Amino acid sequence: MVLKPSLPELLVGLGMVGFAVVVGFATAAIPSSAYAKVGPAVVPWAITAGLVFFGLLLTLQGLTGGWEHERGVDFDWRGLGWLLAGLGMNLILIDGYRVGETQVIPQFGFIIASTVVFSFTARAFGSRAFLRDVLIGFVLALVAYIGFDRVLGYQIGSGMIERLI
């Protein structure tokens, strides 16, 4: 069986490799200390390596014919809609929304915004257990908030619940 290259998959793979090159140049510009064993560029270099690795895998997949076993699967537009709605809600809820000097949507904060994006993402992937997803998302967001705010001292999205803690 001869496989012909699949252009969309090939372009995605090459695009990822190209993006990795851009990230690598930006990472190389991060100043480092001569005394630090682990500097600020460690994570960006790891991300660059991951982008190169997966970009090359996608490029190889595109050269060998792409994802032939998934050609008959319909695209889940409803799932994409839930995912995009969750990301949009996260952007709006974490800081609120202003029109001029008027606060149209209040600042709900990190915990509520993250709970909403978790619930919407779970729904996008087919979950029908809304209350369970909200509870899991809330617990994960609360743990993340406490970890960043209380343990690391890095303040993220102060809102209604965060003011109570």
- 77-131 pLDDT per residue, tens: 899 899 999 999 998 888 877 788 887 777 888 899 999 999 999 999 999 999 9
Helix (H, G, I), strand (E, B) or coil at 99: strand
Instruction: Note the pLDDT tens digit of each residue in 13-38.
Output: 899 999 999 999 998 888 877 666 67
Angle at 155 between CA 40 and CA 113, to 5 degrees: 110
Would the pTM of this model clear 0.75, i.e. be above it? no
CA–CA separation, 38 and 86 (whole Å): 35
Q: Which whole-number Å values give the CA distances from 36 to 23, 30, 49, 125, 154, in the listed order?
A: 22, 13, 21, 42, 21
CB 47 within 8 A of CB 22: no
